[in-house]
Chains A and B, each alone.
Chain A
């Protein structure tokens, strides 16, 4: 087997185009995903519809004036603003791709906000259902909203804290255009204490609860401020997705990129290496007992899996330059990638055992691998329940789904059970190994 491995390595070294493609392909995927996740377009354009009547663009909160434009301007320093007239125009801009998303501020925004902030005001964000774009706009809008919200919340709680202070220690408040002098709990408490010292016991007993209330109130004023400062998000965001499905582009995409490139490198390489033995007719020489069939298959699996393992791990490290990954889980990555690589490579030799030529094997491998990857990503609810069950069964018969589960689990600690995925991969490895062995005897020796 050592000589066969050396031989295959020599052949790979001389097949620069093939190997180059096999390396460049996953690296390209890694870079694409990396860029998409980290940068996105420099300044995305955002359609903006402000439906607040001009007279209401300034909100009064307590004694403070608050300009909605100041709030929205916070958003627009990060995006190119396209002003539109109505909701239809906003949707059209998004649909045509001119704007990545639309931000719609409804007419009642100001009134809802000024009615205390607790009665959540609402803005609407319209996305196109494109995962990459959406994720970018989402993060931009959300982070800017969070900033604006924080400022707003601070303001609201300052106003409220002002009231609380006046209630506590007393002071002047204005209401209905007139100023009032307010006594304040502290002074009320003190007055009550003085009054009760001389009061007849009957009255003192009756007023005791009031006194207790006043002193408790004074003691607990600090808590009101705490509560107020936890009001962080007075503005709700309603999301509307125009088309497509909502895929948050997070580290799941990294697991997906790893699984896809692992599958392609393994399946193409293993099937190609095995088919090469028949294309060159050398299989007939080897089949004379020079290299037993099982060893021949094992050699191809080991080589393809090892190459794919190295390329994919390098790719994962490349991605980690863009997406923060938990290096503490690196041991799990290695286990998941190695097990997946072996399962994919075994599928590869099973395909290779059916083909007489490398090109036929590659075509067969691609034809099988691509739909498998798509099938494994069909979401539940995306198709009819019966079809979904069929898809689940088909996905379970091939290594892509369990490999994705295992890798996703290793990288993200996702909910799928890693041990189950690994056992699934091992079972498929055995099954496809058997199929490859049978295929070799059945088709190759003829």
Chain B
């Protein structure tokens, strides 16, 4: 961000990450920094490599080349909210949260679970089996699990897909509050409007390549769109100009 960010190490420094699946280059030489409290959107069409990039940052997949580094001395794990809900359908909401709190070695697991149930508005469903919840509620639990350890960097892969507008509003309120407390958040989306509305910065990914890394307003001007023009159209034009 501004002057002191240049001196402090970024919350996550991504350097020249590449990943190939057999013939297919899913991520090509991607580098960027993300600062504490920053909210960045990775946007791009389906198959652009968003999920692959985020799962490499999360430590689920190994990159063929490159690295992602947290500041020296940071031991906390990067938080991860996968695109598909990744929780146990046969466990209750509370059991799921407690299990992952224990696995993440959260200091006071029970209190954290209570707090998370309150914050996500799931306290009443705490003892419901997850498989019986609606898609939206399942996604809320999925997100809650990613937040349990209060990670310094949080990655969310298309987090709002299964949510209705009210739940979405609630999610963004929640994420904004996290960034205000200093959490760096990167989320992947193909919803340009959502990126424009919430993100401080957009990273445009197409065919694994990082084409753009700046504010939403800068993306508009780079795509030669007027202030009142639709960003989505501008974005499609921007990609077409660059051969995608």
Contacts and interface: CB of A to CB of B under 8 A. Distances in A.
Interface of A: 3-4, 6-7, 10-11, 14-15, 280-291, 445-446
A3 B58 contact: no
A13 to B, nearest CB: 9
Given A4-B99, A11-B90, 7 more contacts: A3-B99, A6-B99, A7-B91, A10-B90, A15-B90, A284-B58, A285-B100
Interface in B86-103: 86-91, 95, 99-100, 102-103
6 closest A-B pairs by CB:
A281-B86, A11-B90, A14-B90, A3-B102, A290-B103, A288-B59
Interface residues of B, number: 26
A156 B61 CA distance: 87
Contacts of B89: 280
Given A289-B77, A446-B21, A282 B58 contact: no
A437 to B, nearest CB: 15
B55 interface: yes
A280 to B, nearest CB: 6
A284 to B, nearest CB: 5
B20 to A, nearest CB: 12
B213 interface: no
Given A3-B103, A291-B103, A285 B82 contact: yes
Interface of B: 21, 55, 58-61, 77-78, 80, 82, 84-91, 95, 99-100, 102-104, 129, 145
A284 B82 CA distance: 8
A285 B60 CA distance: 8
The secondary-structure label for the interface of chain B is loop
Name, among A15, A288, A446, the residue most crowded by chain B CB atoms within 10 Å (CB to CB): A288
A287 B62 CA distance: 11
The secondary-structure label for the interface of chain A is helix
Contacts of A282: 86-88
A281 B90 contact: no
Contact of A288 (B80, B90, B91, B99): B80
A11 B104 contact: no
Contacts of B77: 288-290
A285 B103 CA distance: 10
A63 to B, nearest CB: 84
Contacts of A290: 77, 100, 103-104
A386 to B, nearest CB: 39
Name, among A4, A284, A287, the residue most crowded by chain B CB atoms within 10 Å (CB to CB): A284
A281 B88 contact: no
Contacts of A287: 59-60
Nearest to B103: A290
Nearest to B95: A10
Contacts of B60: 284, 287-288, 445
A290 B58 CA distance: 12
B58 A288 contact: yes
A285 B90 contact: no
Nearest to B100: A285
Nearest to A6: B99
A286 B103 CA distance: 8
A280 B88 contact: yes
A241 B158 CA distance: 70
B16 to A, nearest CB: 21
Contacts of A281: 82, 84-86
19 contacts: A3-B99, A3-B102, A7-B95, A7-B99, A10-B91, A280-B89, A281-B85, A281-B86, A283-B86, A284-B86, A285-B82, A285-B145, A286-B103, A287-B59, A288-B58, A288-B78, A288-B80, A289-B77, A446-B61
